[in-house]
């Protein structure tokens, strides 16, 4: 509220915002999520290029949900929740699990609040007044205690929790993933992680205020892209475009596997955390967008 609005009592005046503070906070709300949302979109595109079968499922679900409805007629109330509960919703959730925007989320016990006691596995843990605690999103998102999982099909790891597996969010895909019934529609919804196990937007009273906005924005952009386009890895490092059309199916698969291996190497070993996770320019994963029906590899 603006200080001269006259809404709060004199006792509460100290909690009001000046006009300049209001402008500054508005700027933060509007633009602070630009980088994080852009990174999520970037990684979703890369991961879908690495998983053609998932990409096809996304497109099939979008076709079933949206039909021939033009973009200008997409409706938040009619379409958004259905898309969230589709393969695309699972893709967005899995991307944020695998590569959260912020790895370590800082929290502090206020100096005036006194010591705080948390219960961890039934054991009391005292957090002293003034202490900083960082919630490790990267680790909790990979803890097999909380997540549906199986053995990795990509590496020799015992679990696939470091892999991109949107299916883990779909009801019944794993034995420890129970369907969640949407009582209003009678339809199943995506897997719901235990409280505190999924924190790409933090958790609690000071969780990200822009969570819903970000999810809608990311999902809508991806829906608009994959309604019309497919995304493939750019293989020009290994073969020139003019030679691709003369390659056999086996030769195309082989070169795409080379591009896939290099892309995974970049994702596995080259993510840097400045403020948000990002790939350095030297480890970029080149992509190409093609109209649906004009794919070369997918």
Tokens for 86?
């589709």
Integer angstrom CA distances of residue 16 from 50, 97, 145: 49, 37, 44
pLDDT value at 183 more than 70: no
**Amino acid 114: pLDDT:** 87
Tokens for 237?
């490092």
In terms of C-beta density within 10 A (0-12 exposed, 13-18 middle, 19 or more buried), how is residue 202 classed? Answer: middle
Tokens for 84?
């969230």
pLDDT value at 178 more than 90: no
pLDDT category at 179 given cuts 50, 70, 90 is very low
Residue 182: CA atoms inside 13 Å, Cβ hemisphere, count?
A: 13
Q: Residue 181 domain-assigned?
A: yes
- pLDDT one-digit tens code per residue, 188-208: 578 999 999 999 999 888 888
* Residues forming beta bridges with residue 187, ordered by sequence position: 182
Structural contact between residues 177 and 183, judged by C-beta atoms closer than 8 angstroms? no
Q: In total, how many domains does the chain have?
A: 1
- pLDDT one-digit tens code per residue, 222-278: 999 999 999 999 999 999 888 888 899 999 999 999 999 999 988 887 665 544 556
Q: Residue 239 domain-assigned?
A: yes
**Residue 179: which domain range?**
24-101+163-291
Q: Residue 149 domain-assigned?
A: no
CA angle 48, 50, 54 (to 5 degrees): 45
- pLDDT one-digit tens code per residue, 4-52: 333 333 444 556 888 998 888 777 767 767 778 888 999 999 999 999 9
Tokens for 77?
């109330």
Alpha helices in the chain (DSSP H): 19-31, 34-50, 52-66, 81-84, 87-98, 137-140, 211-228, 241-244, 249-269
DSSP 3-state of 291: strand
Residue corresponding to tokens 């080149």: 286
Rounded Cα distance between 256 and 71, Å, is 32
Integer angstrom CA distances of residue 138 from 122, 142, 198, 253, 261: 23, 7, 10, 32, 22
**Amino acid 152: pLDDT:** 95
Q: Residue 133 domain-assigned?
A: no
* CATH classification of the domain holding 207: 1.10.630.10
Q: Residue 252 domain-assigned?
A: yes
Q: Residue 144 domain-assigned?
A: no
């Amino acid at each position: 509220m603006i200080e001269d609005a006259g809404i709060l009592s004199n006792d509460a005046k100290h909690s009001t915002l000046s006009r300049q503070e209001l402008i500054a906070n508005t700027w933060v709300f509007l633009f602070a999520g630009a980088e994080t949302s852009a990174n999520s979109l970037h990684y979703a595109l890369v991961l879908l290029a690495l998983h053609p079968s998932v990409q096809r499922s996304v497109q099939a679900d979008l076709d079933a949900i949206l039909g021939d409805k033009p973009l200008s007629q997409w409706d938040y109330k009619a379409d958004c929740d259905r898309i969230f509960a589709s393969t695309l919703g699972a893709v967005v959730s899995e991307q944020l699990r695998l590569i959260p925007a912020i790895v370590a989320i800082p929290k502090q016990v206020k100096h005036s609040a006194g010591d705080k006691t948390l219960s961890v596995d039934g054991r009391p843990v005292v957090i002293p007044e003034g202490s900083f605690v960082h919630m490790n999103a990267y680790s909790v998102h990979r803890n097999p205690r909380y997540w549906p999982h199986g053995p990795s099909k990509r590496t020799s790891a015992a679990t696939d929790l470091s892999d991109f597996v949107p299916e883990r969010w779909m009801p019944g895909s794993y034995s420890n993933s129970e369907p969640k019934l949407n009582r209003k529609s009678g339809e199943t919804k995506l897997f719901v992680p235990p409280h505190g196990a999924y924190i790409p937007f933090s958790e609690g009273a000071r969780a990200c205020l822009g969570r819903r906005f970000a999810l809608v924005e990311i999902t809508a952009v991806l829906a608009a892209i994959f309604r019309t386009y497919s995304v493939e890895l750019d293989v020009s490092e290994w073969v020139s475009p003019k030679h691709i059309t003369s390659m056999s199916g086996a030769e195309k698969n082989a070169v795409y596997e080379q591009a896939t291996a290099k892309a995974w190497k970049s994702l596995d070993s080259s993510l840097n955390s400045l403020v948000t996770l990002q790939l350095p320019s030297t480890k970029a994963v080149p992509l190409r967008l093609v109209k649906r029906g004009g794919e070369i590899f997918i």
